[in-house]
Amino acid sequence: MLTIGKLAAETGVKVPTVRYYEQIGLLPAPERSSGNQRLYGPVARQRLAFIRHARTLGFPLEAIRDLLSLSDRPDLPCSAADAIAKAQLRAVQARITQLKALEQELQRMLVQCAHGTIADCRVIEVLGDHRQCAHDHDAVPVE
């Protein structure tokens, strides 16, 4: 059995995140020691590793919840899991398209820069007036 700190260290997930996943029901409530310390077995470790890997691939929490639910029912066909993965792939492809547009816009701003003073700075000018952009990149989320 693993304590929350050891589970977190083994899976690369921070302790508060483990608690959060328990709170929202992605991880079941753990067993408790006589001193009320959380104790996790191999199943919880595997589930947390699954969640972490899915998050690394950008899956939203609701999709992970659905995938975990599917993984708990191994007799079902995998078409539902495939559909979730396809939706995530489309989201990633859309994000890549948006990022490429951002890259082009930033390159364009820098190429047009005269490297003079801030008063003549093309970067400042374009950032101050979105109409000067060659691409519509408002849909790109700010992180």
Instruction: Note the pLDDT tens digit of each residue in 89-126.
Output: 999 999 999 999 889 888 887 887 767 777 777 777 77
Question: Which residues have a Cβ under 8 Å from the Cβ of 24 and sit 6 or more positions away?
Answer: 61
Query: Under CATH, what is the fold of the domain 4-71?
Result: Multidrug-efflux Transporter Regulator; Chain: A; Domain 2 (1.10.1660)
What share of the chain in percent tops pLDDT 70? 93
Q: Which of 6, 49, 53 is nearest to 27 (CA)?
A: 49
Task: Return the SS3 of 123.
Answer: helix
- CB-based contact 34:25 (threshold 8 Å): no
Is pLDDT of 57 > 90?
Answer: yes
Residues 124 and 118: beta-carbon distance below 8 Å: yes
Where along the chain do its domains lie?
A: 4-71, 79-132
pLDDT at 109 (0 to 100): 79
Report the predicted TM-score, pTM, of the whole model to 2 decimal places: 0.75
Q: Residues 67, 47: contact at Cβ < 8 Å?
A: no
